[in-house]
Structure 1
Amino acid sequence: MLPALAIAVAGCGNSETPSGNTGGSSGAAAPNVQLVNAGQLTNCTGLPYKPFEFEDGGKVVGFDIDLMDLVAKKLGVKQEVVDTPFDGIQSGADFNSGKCDLSSAGMTITDKRKENIDFSDPYFDATQALVVKKGSGLDDLAKLKGKKLGVQNTTTGQEYAEKNAAGAELVTFEDLGLLLTAVETGQVDAGINDNGVLYDWVKEKTGFEVSKEFDTGEQYGIGLKKGNADLLKVINDVLKEAKSSGEYDKIYEKWFGKKPE
């Protein structure tokens, strides 16, 4: 397992802004919120997951990162992003060990994950999709019988494939980047993952296409340690304020090229 990569995200907070004290308090904006590191909001995520979170020029950016900048601003601190394997996030281990305060990781809210972590209110609708080489004719899971289907470890895409891709050989990858590289190089015949990241990928990889969407009705939520009610309230308040003020729409359009439907 590779060491975690910690990258500061600029643009929220400065030396004159109230920040957390040595006791973990976040300052005047939300005095009851306890942070794992004083003066910063530590966000665990799994890179790359473009356009939600990815590294660009040595800095982690993306839709989720911009939203968490709003939370950090509300708390009067800066955001710090930690790149970590996704399993440690969804299992709750990263929160229980004090590695991070929250996780914005394009993470679907599921009952299974709720056993280990708490979720914010939903902030993004998603569904599973299939990405293939153009002209392959692979536009349904049934057509992958006897072929290799790439899945990302411990994701809802993997779960969906295990239940519905009968006859396909599932090949598991630790992160989205490795999965998409396997699709591009022909190591696998197709890949399954959330539609948002796949549509973003095929914008640049014009020899590939999203051939099928599956109506899984998923919604993303911000994850955090079970019982952390004070931080949960701040996150939900920020998401609500961003949607009512139009700030959410601006961030959405910045990363997806259009306003949410």
Structure 2
Amino acid sequence: MARRLTRVLTLLPAAALAVTTASCAEEVGSGGDTEAGGEISLINEGKLTTCTHLPYEPFQFTQDGETVGFDVDLVDLVAEDLGVEQEIFDTSFEGIESGASFDTGQCDVAAAAMTITEEREQVMDFSDGYFDANQALLVGTDSDVAELSDLEGKVLGMQLGTTGEKYAREHQDEHGYELRQFEDLALLQTAVQTGQVAAAINDNSVLLDFANKNDDVEVTTEFETGEQYGIAVREGDAAMLSKVNEVLQAAKDDGRYDAIYEKWFGQAPESN
């Protein structure tokens, strides 16, 4: 499988962000029925603001100056149903998965190929799962590393705040490798190409996509973790959650989901 995405908005300077998020938080907290089927309140009039972290191809990445990708197209369906436009806010993945992006009023929804986990469900609410994922290992094509057991005494790269990081830490003592964190996927992938790390762990779809487009790397193994991605909303925002689930289900029923999937992965999904 393959994935990549783009960026529309850049991170705001810290001072500006503090002011902006404070005002956004007030807007989120005012007005609107948060019960399912109630009124949906948006932090910016006429916009469905989506927090994401770029790049994470093919889910969200920049192409010809525009943010595109699988997740982007799915959230566009929600925006269309609401009669507004989607606006992408690029921020740290750690801020998204910790719930801080919702707490500070940065976004209405978060779509960042984000796995639904019990920890994350403590600070945000998730839609029904819309994509299945596992973890995988990326290495250079001239590498002798095929499994985690081959990494003893070597460095394994991981992306900060991801389920790949969690998996790597859980198995570190067993296999005796060192760990190095990277802020985003692109830096992690480049680290494998340049030999900064012996291997990298991340979601299978993005690593397979990268390997398909770069002859100097390959995916040697996948780890069955049974993950599912979900679109997140602010905790307690039942109206938005209901709308997202409604649109996702309708898209699966009428074939739009399959068309978007095939657009970004080159084939229709086996099941949805």
User: Normalising by the residue count of structure 2, what TM-score does the alignment of the two structures yield?
Assistant: 0.85
Q: 2:101 aligns with which of 85, 94, 97?
A: 94
Find the aligned partners of 1:86 and 1:163 in 2 and give their Cα distance.
20
Aligned residues: 239
Find the aligned partners of 1:215 and 1:159 in 2 and give their Cα distance.
14
Structure 2 residue identity aligned to 1:218: E
Find the aligned partners of 1:209 and 1:164 in 2 and give their Cα distance.
21
Offset at residue 31 of structure 1 (A):
6.6
Find the aligned partners of 1:225 and 1:238 in 2 and give their Cα distance.
18
**For residue 133 of structure 1, what is the aligned residue in structure 2?**
140
For residue 119 of structure 2, give the secondary structure of its aligned residue in structure 1.
helix
Find the aligned partners of 2:141 and 2:232 in 1 and give their Cα distance.
36
1:116-169 Cα distance to aligned partner (Å, 9 max, x none): 111000000000000001131311101101111100001100000001133111
**For residue 27 of structure 2, what is the aligned residue in structure 1?**
none
2:76·2:85 contact (CA, 8 Å) conserved in 1? yes
Asked if residue 235 in structure 1 is aligned to residue 244 in structure 2, the reply is: yes
Offset at residue 238 of structure 1 (A):
0.5
Find the aligned partners of 1:232 and 1:24 in 2 and give their Cα distance.
17
- Following TM superposition, the consecutive aligned residue runs of length 4 or more in structure 1 with deviations greater than 3 angstroms are none
**For residue 110 of structure 2, what is the aligned residue in structure 1?**
103
For residue 111 of structure 1, give the secondary structure of its aligned residue in structure 2.
coil
**For residue 183 of structure 1, what is the aligned residue in structure 2?**
192
Asked if residue 32 in structure 1 is aligned to residue 32 in structure 2, the reply is: no
Identity %: 54
**For residue 223 of structure 2, what is the aligned residue in structure 1?**
214
Q: Which residues of structure 1 form unaligned runs of 5+? A: 6-22
For residue 89 of structure 1, give the secondary structure of its aligned residue in structure 2.
helix
**For residue 63 of structure 2, what is the aligned residue in structure 1?**
56
Q: 1:248 aligns with which of 257, 264, 272?
A: 257
**For residue 224 of structure 1, what is the aligned residue in structure 2?**
233
1:193-215 Cα distance to aligned partner (Å, 9 max, x none): 00010011011111211000000
Q: Which residues of structure 2 form unaligned runs of 5+? A: 1-9, 13-29
Asked if residue 82 in structure 1 is aligned to residue 89 in structure 2, the reply is: yes
Structure 2 residue identity aligned to 1:45: T
1:24·1:36 contact (CA, 8 Å) conserved in 2? no
1:24·1:35 contact (CA, 8 Å) conserved in 2? no
2:38·2:239 contact (CA, 8 Å) conserved in 1? no
Offset at residue 24 of structure 1 (A):
7.5
Find the aligned partners of 2:46 and 2:81 in 1 and give their Cα distance.
12
Q: Let me know the Cα RMSD of the aligned residues.
A: 1.6
1:71-112 Cα distance to aligned partner (Å, 9 max, x none): 000100000001100111111111111110011100000001
1:118·1:224 contact (CA, 8 Å) conserved in 2? yes
Structure 2 residue identity aligned to 1:156: T
Find the aligned partners of 2:146 and 2:183 in 1 and give their Cα distance.
24
For residue 216 of structure 1, give the secondary structure of its aligned residue in structure 2.
strand
Paired residues for 1:128-207 under 5 Å: 128-165=135-172, 166-207=175-216
Offset at residue 248 of structure 1 (A):
0.3
Structure 1 residue identity aligned to 2:229: Y
User: Normalising by the residue count of structure 1, what TM-score does the alignment of the two structures yield?
Assistant: 0.89
Find the aligned partners of 2:31 and 2:85 in 1 and give their Cα distance.
14
**For residue 13 of structure 1, what is the aligned residue in structure 2?**
none
Offset at residue 231 of structure 1 (A):
0.3
Find the aligned partners of 2:241 and 2:110 in 1 and give their Cα distance.
12
Find the aligned partners of 1:207 and 1:184 in 2 and give their Cα distance.
7
